[in-house]
Chains A and B, each alone.
Chain A
Amino acid sequence: MKKSEEDLLTELSKVHHQMPRWVLVLIASMALVVFASHTAGLLVLLLISGIFAYLFSSLINRIEYFGIKRTVAVAALYGVALLLFTAAEFLILPCLKNETAHLSAQLPDITRQAEAAFSGLKGYPFTEELIDRILEGIARPGHMLSTTLNSSEVFSQAASLTFAMILIPFFVFFILRDWPAMLKAFLRRLPAAYVETAIAALAEINILAGRYLRGLAIDCFSIACIASFGLWALGVGYPFTLGIMTGAANVIPYLGPIVSCAAASLIAFIQFKSAGAVINVLMLYTAIRLIDDFVVQPLTIGRSVRLHPMLLIISIIAGQRLFGIMGMVLAVPTVTILQKVVQILLDHRQRMRTRTAAATHIQKIIV
C-alpha cells in the first residue's frame, strides 16, 4: 500500500473516531430515506405482507401451543386459505363479479342519469358549482374506464397486481415462519442493559397493534355485512359491492364513512330519483355509525387507540400526503405506537441514569 493511501486511511479512521454518534445516525437515516424513496413500491408490499403476517401470527402461535412445528402450522394455514379461496370462487365471487361488471357497464348511463337528476337543482344559489363537481367526479371513473380499457396501461397494472399477488403470500409465509427466529437473533445482539426496554416496547406494540389491527379487521367485516344487508333491504342497487366498499372505507376514521355514505346515497338517488330514498340511506348509515361506535368498536378495537381528535385528523392527512391510502389506514396505529414507544424510551433514559452506579459495584463482585 502506498504511503499516501495509508495516510488517507489514518485520517479517515481519525474522522470516524471524532465523528459524534448523532452524525452517523443522521447519515444512516438519510441513506435509509433515499433507499425507501427508490423502493417505495416494494416497501408497501412488505408493509402489507407484515400486516397480514401479524394478523395471522396469533393463530399460528395457537397451533404451536399444541407442540406442532411452526413451519407445519404455517403450511396448514396456507392449505386452509387455498380451500377457502376455492370455495369463495364458486360461492361469493360470481355474485360480486356480476355486480361490478353491471356497475362498470352502467357507469356512462349513470352519469347521464345523474346529470338529468341534478339539472333541476341548478337554479338554487351555491348549488351550481357543487353539482358540476359531483358530475365531474362521477364522469371521471367512467371516462377513465373507457379510455384505458385495452390499452397498455391496463396490462402494466395487471402485471404489477399479479406480481403483488405472488409476492405478498411469499413474504407472508417467510415472515410468519421466521419471526421468532428473527426476534431471537435481534435480542441476542442487543446489550443486556437494553433488553427490558426493548421487550417493553415490543410488548406494548404487540398489544396495541394486535388489538387495533385484529379489531379493525373484525369491525370492517361486521360493518360490510350490516351495510350489505341494510342496502339490500332498502332495495338499493349493488348492495354487496357498496357493502364491501363501506367496510373497507371504515378503516379510515371520519373520512371513510362519509365517502361510502355519499356513494350509496348517490346510487339510491339515481335509482329512485327521490329525496326519500336518499334520506333512507342516510338513516341507514347513521344507524351503522351508531352501531359501530357503541357496539362493534368497544367489543373489537376497545380503547386501544387513545389519540386526541385533532392529532388523529392531522396524522390521517399526513399519512395520505406521504403514503397515499395505505398511509391513511396506518396513520392511527402508527402514531399511537410512536406515542407509547417515546414514553418507554424516556422511561429507559431515566432508568439508565440510576443504573450506571449500581453496575460498577456489581462488576467488582464478579471480577
Chain B
Amino acid sequence: MKKLFRWAFDRNKDDRLSILRQVGLCKGLSRNVLMKLLVDLVEKEYQQGDLIFAEGDTGKALYIILNGSVSIVKRCGNEDKVLATLSAGSFFGELALIDQVPRFASATAMEKTTLLIMYKSYFDDLIKANNAMSSRLLLNIVELLTAYVRKNHAAYRCDRDE
C-alpha cells in the first residue's frame, strides 16, 4: 500500500530527519514528532562570518545545526576565547528556552551553515501540550543541564585540588 502511494511522500526531508535524530535534545522522540519539528521550525541559511547572536543579547531561541559549523566565543576581559566549535547534529542556545537571560557567549557561522530555529514561545506551546512528547523534551533538557552541572562541579574540584 505504501509503495502504491510513494509519490505522495516527501523524501527530501529524510536527510534532515536523520540529522535531527542525532540531536541530544530530540533523543527518544518519535518520527512523527521529529517531522513536526521539521515542518514547524524555521530554517535559515547563514554565510561565513555571520553573527548568529551576540554575548549579552536576550536569548529567545534555540538553534539546531543541520549543516556547516558554528563557533561559540566568550569575551574574557580583552580577549576572545573560543569555547567550542559545533557541527551538524549539534545545538546551542538551549538556556534561552528556560529563561530569557542574556546570552553567555556569542555564536558565529564558521562556514555556510543551515540552522533550524526553535523560538521560545513555540517551545512553551509544546510544553503546555502536556503529553509524552513534552515530558520527553523536558527530560532531555534536564539531562543536559545535569551534565553541565557535573562537568562544572568536576572542573571546580580539579581547580581546588590544584
Contacts and interface: CB of A to CB of B under 8 A. Distances in A.
Interface residues of A, number: 38
A203 interface: yes
Interface of B: 8-10, 13, 32, 35-36, 39-40, 42-58, 60-61, 71, 73, 75, 80, 82, 106, 108-110, 117, 119, 121-122, 125
Closest 6 CB pairs of A and B: A358-B54, A192-B50, A203-B119, A355-B54, A72-B8, A69-B10
A188 B42 CA distance: 11
A188 B44 CA distance: 6
A168 B43 CA distance: 29
Interface in A176-196: 180, 183-184, 187-188, 190, 192-193, 195-196
Contacts of B9: 67-69
Interface in A31-71: 61, 64-70
A362 B57 contact: no
Interface string A150-187: 00000000000000000000000000000010011001
Counting chain B CB atoms within 10 Å of each CB, which of A61, A66, A67, A361 scores highest?
A67
A206 to B, nearest CB: 9
Contacts of A183: 42
A37 to B, nearest CB: 34
B29 to A, nearest CB: 12
A358 B10 contact: no
A176 B11 CA distance: 20
Given A66-B32, A68-B10, A366 B119 contact: no
Contacts, number: 102
A105 interface: no
A203 B122 contact: yes
A65 B36 contact: yes
Interface string A337-363: 000000000010001001100110111
A345 to B, nearest CB: 14
Given A65-B32, A199-B117, A365 B82 contact: yes
A322 interface: no
Contacts of A192: 46-47, 50-52, 109
A358 B72 CA distance: 13
A335 B161 CA distance: 61
B82 A64 contact: no
A68 B53 contact: no
Given A67-B9, A347-B58, A355-B54, A362 B80 contact: yes
A366 B108 contact: yes
A66 B121 CA distance: 24
Given A200-B60, A207-B121, A347-B58, A65 B44 contact: no
A202 interface: yes
Contact of B35 (A67, A184, A187, A355): A67
Given A199-B117, A362-B106, A65 B54 contact: no
Contacts of B44: 187-188, 190, 195
B43 A354 contact: no
A2 interface: no
B57 A202 contact: no
Nearest to A364: B80
A99 interface: no
Contacts of B48: 366
Contact of A358 (B32, B35, B42, B106): B106
Contacts of B42: 183, 187, 199, 202
Nearest to A202: B42
A193 B75 contact: no
B102 to A, nearest CB: 8
A72 B6 CA distance: 12
A204 interface: yes
Contacts of A72: 8
Contacts of B106: 358, 362
Given A188-B44, A188-B45, A362 B51 contact: yes
Nearest to A187: B44
B13 A67 contact: yes
A235 B141 CA distance: 60
Contacts of A363: 49, 51
B57 A355 contact: yes
A355 B45 CA distance: 20
B54 A359 contact: yes
A66 B35 CA distance: 7
A204 B39 contact: no
A351 B57 contact: yes
Contact of A64 (B35, B47, B54, B61): B35
